[in-house]
Amino acid sequence: MSSLDSKAAFKARALELNFPEAVLAKLAAINVDTPTTDEGPLIATLKRALGTPPDDGVLSALAEMRGKVERTDASEPLRMPLAERAQRISALQQRLVGIHWTVDIEPSHKLQDLVAQMVTDQSLVWIPWDRLTSRALELTAEKLDQTVSFDSSGNLKLVKRSADPSCSTTGEYAVKLALQRRSLAFELGRICRYEYLEAWHDQLLQIHMRQQPTGHQRVSLNQLREADKMLWTRIAEDTRGALSLRPDGSYPFEVSLAKWKDHAQVQCYFDASASCASLRSQLAASSRQRPLISRRSWSLLPDPELTEGPSAFASDRVKLYNKLNQMEKELRYEEARLHSTFPDHAREVVKGKNLLLWAQLLKETAFPDEGVFELMKGVDLVGKPDKSPLFDTKEVPAKSTEALLLESASWRRERLKAKDPHKGDMEATIQLWECTLKDRDNGFLKGPFLDEEAVKQHLGVEEFVCSRRFVIEQGAPENLKLRPIDNYKEGGINEAYHSLEKLALFDVNWMTAMATYIARVSDTSSDIEIVLSTGEVLRGKLHQSWKSKKPVWQGRTLDLEKAYRQVPLSSASLKLGVVMVTDPNSGRPCYFVAQSLPFGAASSVFAFNRLSRSILHLSWNLVGMVAGCFYDDFPLLEIQSGAKLASESFEHLLRKIGWKYSTDPDKSHGFEETFDLLGVRLTTRDIANGVVSLQNRTSRVEKMKDAFVRLGLSGKWTIREIQSLQGQVNFALGFASGRALKLLQRALGSFIRDPGARAAEDLRALCSFGIKLLDECRPRVFGCRGPEQPVLIFTDAAYEKGKASYGIVLIDAFTSTRLVGGGNIPDDLVNFWKLDSPEQVIAQAEAYAVVLGRLVMRSFIHGRRVLYFVENEGAREVLVKGASRSRTLLLLGSLFFEMENLDQSLTWLERVASASNVADAPSRGEIRETAAMIGGSVIDLEAESIKLSEECKSTVQIPWKLLK
């Protein structure tokens, strides 16, 4: 018998809910004595009780009752009615007249509903600080995610749940705003008045900001957060079931807050500990039973030795040299046994590698990716790998499977046979064949196999997947480098790989940031102070060795040799890694079986970046290097006095763990004051003086100029040559030259999009323009100890009745300078603009104001960060992207970009509304009034305006046809 048929079960449940016996007897008399899944009788009884059909009010009340009954822990908080919310906010604004109420201060509706739900449940809940979101964040980040949850009956249901946005809690100001929103939300929810909770928040931040004794750390934000959690726990115990406002007008929360906020159980979190950040990170590691690394325990030493001279680093590196030699000897027999367990192909690839030594060093230094060792046993080309903790998540599901690839392998091979990438190009075919045979000789490939049956017999499989191979040329003609690429995308392999990581690479920008940071904090005129991401501050006296003589910084880039080829494929992936190459002697396709990571597979990229990160980790923690990592390139920075030992120490580390690095004289250079950094040149010699400079390699610029000269003289071109130039310009634009080459990039892109319509004169115009811009390129110089506050430049323009005028306002908080200027744009320039845009020239006038502002304020903005506020979107777009259908606007954009070489400023352009634009009034002639309003001075811009207007009418050497 089921419980639905049991009278005893029904009676027991009713008595559990405190039903009187008399009521049960009456229910039994009308045959209501067992549970039922049919709601019909209940609905009929309700209709008889109501007498008339339920109106909207009754239905609303019943729906609310049902929501309360069916509510679970996974349910969304009930939404506060709009009218109630608006009334409470209005009342609070009237009471708290001292608060400047904005959408950044106003608690989000989600936060208000969470607090209101606490009152409904009569249960206090601690909300993480990053969930104390603002209404502004909610308006811009709100989205609904479909999720599956259980209802009160245990049934599955599909619900749309609001995604939880998180607010920033980095830094004291962001934390203060978040906590202020909590205070407002708790008063809106009628749990606690604003001033009571805000007093607690002020107490927290005052404890965090107070000065600590020498040798002690400041109380961290994490300590404050834990204290806040403990306080909430104690208040929740006191107010369980009694969180609402009492009849006498008092708040239970406030009473409990006063009781616990100064209690020892909360205050214990505010103890200022001795500074030992490095030791704490070691003790928190998952593998605690390991030798402490004495070099990283520097913060336990007495104050005079906190910052050490070059001799300390040299001593540590010599000890590392001896340690690695000893560990290699101790592990050599175990290493041999490990290699003997590998498959033949993997053993051949990892020959010479000390994998156990590498793994032991990673364990000692607490490398977070524990699964990286398994990659050296073999990498899978397809499927879903383990998630690495080194990178953020970016999941891209596979579109195919290994089974589908094998099922379609035979017809894919037939299709690939007819798609030779170098068909008709015998030179490229021979180059590819020779590169492939060289890879075979180095143990990266097995082959050649003349037919498919030979491949199947070698692999011991019934089917295999094949991909084509092609070769590309890199470098200058006099130093040509051939790189074979395995096209696993065309073979379908990449579609069967499920990636999980969002790669973050330590590229040019990262190394430049490191250099500029060193330049900023290593000022010999003051103590060293470094602010950590946790908010903690490391301070120390600069060692006398650095004070007596400023250090000279140098750099180099170490390149791993055939990096991908040093990692084996898994045995299961051998049948997926076959490549097809045309034999130039017979003209027939031959097959080679990959044994190591191929250059062209998606899995190779993700797997190798995990491995290269492990090497970078060892360079940081063992050698003590300032290093980055971009795939197989390792940029390094070091003091000149320790550069030779640092270089030898890192190379010795690589030799001992078995990673081969390039010793080619063309690629392998020692430490230099100006060195090649991933394709650009970084000058480090003036870091101690607070200056870092970055520029394109001279050889790269000369190569581009030579190509433009050659194409311009011949008047002939191929799409491959133009694409090569475009790639080089894109690279130069991305790093060293800022936006000075922006229009050249656009012109090359336009040329490629419609090559059939391009004539010889278009090519010559493009080449002349490219040569001109390349000649004007200058190194990017970063002054690292100047003011960090940006210069603000507001611009505006007006155009009425055929007359155009402009207004410019500069505000520099660092020098306390405020300048106001304005005037009329010359009529002949306006008439020139009308030839291009007969109907309206306001965009040109707005862009003219920005260009003029940059020109006349160059003494204030040189080497500074500058924010330009522009009112017209068309003008802003051409100054950011270099894109416009108007020739006159493009010319203004060209002038703006060229000024970057002269003032070396870092620019950002932002849109501003007229009502918020302080330059609006000067553009209409109210110059002195505006200067008086902001407490600034009037500046005469007429001479510079006339000079600029003449430049704006010069159209020489601009390839207009390619830029429209």
949: pLDDT strictly greater than 70: yes
- Going 254 to 256 to 260 to 265, the CA torsion angle's sign is negative
Query: What's the pLDDT score for residue 783?
Result: 84
458: pLDDT strictly greater than 90: yes
Facing residues of 803 across strands?
800
711-739 burial: b if 16+ Cβ within 10 Å, else e: bbeeeebeeeebeebbebbebbbbbbbbb
Question: What domains are there in the chain, each with its CATH number?
Answer: 3-69 (no CATH), 95-270 (no CATH), 697-773 (no CATH), 784-963 (3.30.420.10)
Tokens of 537: 């501050």
C-alpha to C-alpha distance for 464 and 455, rounded to whole angstroms:
8
Name the pLDDT band for 911 (thresholds 50, 70, 90). very high
365: pLDDT strictly greater than 80: yes
Query: What's the pLDDT score for residue 148?
Result: 43
Non-local (6+) Cβ contacts of 818 within 8 A are 809, 810, 811, 812, 931, 934, 935, 936, 937
153: pLDDT strictly greater than 70: no
Query: What's the pLDDT score for residue 902?
Result: 85
Q: What angle do CA 298, 302, 303 make, to 5 degrees?
A: 95
Per-residue pLDDT of 504-518, as tens digits, reads: 888 888 888 899 888
How many helices (H) and strands (E) the chain has is answered by 38, 24
The one-letter code for the residue type at 940 is D
280: pLDDT strictly greater than 50: no
Query: What's the pLDDT score for residue 268?
Result: 86
Q: Is 851:774 a contact under the CB 8 Å cutoff?
A: no
| More reliable by pLDDT, 366 or 17 | 366
* Residue 734, H or E segment: helix 719-734
157: pLDDT strictly greater than 70: no
292: pLDDT strictly greater than 50: no
Name the pLDDT band for 401 (thresholds 50, 70, 90). very high
CA distances (Å), 442 to each of 349, 565, 834, 958, in order?
A: 9, 9, 67, 51
| More reliable by pLDDT, 621 or 294 | 621
Q: Is 168:174 a contact under the CB 8 Å cutoff?
A: yes
Mean pLDDT, residues 353-375: 94
Give φ, ψ of 721 to 5 degrees.
-65, -40
Query: What's the pLDDT score for residue 955?
Result: 61
Give φ, ψ of 903 to 5 degrees.
-95, -10
Name the pLDDT band for 290 (thresholds 50, 70, 90). very low
The one-letter code for the residue type at 512 is T
C-alpha to C-alpha distance for 876 and 774, rounded to whole angstroms:
25
Q: Is 708:770 a contact under the CB 8 Å cutoff?
A: yes
| More reliable by pLDDT, 526 or 564 | 564
Q: Is 153:205 a contact under the CB 8 Å cutoff?
A: no
Name the pLDDT band for 288 (thresholds 50, 70, 90). very low
The mean pLDDT value of the chain amounts to: 84
Helix ranges restricted to H, 408-507:
409-417, 426-441, 452-459
Tokens of 505: 């690479």
Query: What's the pLDDT score for residue 276?
Result: 46
- Going 675 to 680 to 683 to 687, the CA torsion angle's sign is negative
The one-letter code for the residue type at 783 is G
277: pLDDT strictly greater than 70: no
Q: Give percent of the chain with pLDDT exceeding 90.
A: 42
3-state SS, residue 3: helix
Q: Which of 193-202, 207-216, 545-554 has the lowest mean pLDDT?
A: 207-216
C-alpha to C-alpha distance for 129 and 114, rounded to whole angstroms:
13
Mean pLDDT, residues 636-654: 92
Query: What's the pLDDT score for residue 537?
Result: 83
Mean pLDDT, residues 594-608: 93
Rounded to an integer, what is the distance from CA 124 to the centroid of its chain?
A: 36
Helix ranges restricted to H, 169-220:
172-188, 194-209
Tokens of 491: 């073979």
Mean pLDDT, residues 622-640: 92
| More reliable by pLDDT, 818 or 141 | 818
Q: Is 617:462 a contact under the CB 8 Å cutoff?
A: no
593: pLDDT strictly greater than 50: yes
128: pLDDT strictly greater than 70: yes
Q: Is 884:878 a contact under the CB 8 Å cutoff?
A: yes
312: pLDDT strictly greater than 90: no
- Total-model pTM: 0.64
791: pLDDT strictly greater than 70: yes
Mean pLDDT, residues 297-302: 36
Before 448, cis peptide (omega within 30)? Answer: yes
Mean pLDDT, residues 121-145: 81
Per-residue pLDDT of 68-94, as tens digits, reads: 555 555 456 678 888 888 888 989 988
Name the pLDDT band for 300 (thresholds 50, 70, 90). very low
Q: Is 546:524 a contact under the CB 8 Å cutoff?
A: yes
Per-residue pLDDT of 483-505, as tens digits, reads: 888 999 988 999 999 999 999 88
Query: What's the pLDDT score for residue 297?
Result: 39
The one-letter code for the residue type at 650 is F
156: pLDDT strictly greater than 90: no
Per-residue pLDDT of 161-170, as tens digits, reads: 555 677 878 7
Q: Give percent of the chain with pLDDT exceeding 70.
A: 88
721: pLDDT strictly greater than 70: yes
Query: What's the pLDDT score for residue 163?
Result: 56
| More reliable by pLDDT, 104 or 845 | 845
* 695: number of Cβ within 10 Å: 21
Q: Are strands 633-639 and 626-627 parallel, antiparallel or unpaired?
A: antiparallel
Q: Are strands 680-683 and 674-677 parallel, antiparallel or unpaired?
A: antiparallel
C-alpha to C-alpha distance for 931 and 803, rounded to whole angstroms:
23
Query: What's the pLDDT score for residue 961?
Result: 66
Name the pLDDT band for 41 (thresholds 50, 70, 90). confident
Per-residue pLDDT of 43-52, as tens digits, reads: 777 777 777 7
- Going 462 to 465 to 470 to 472, the CA torsion angle's sign is negative
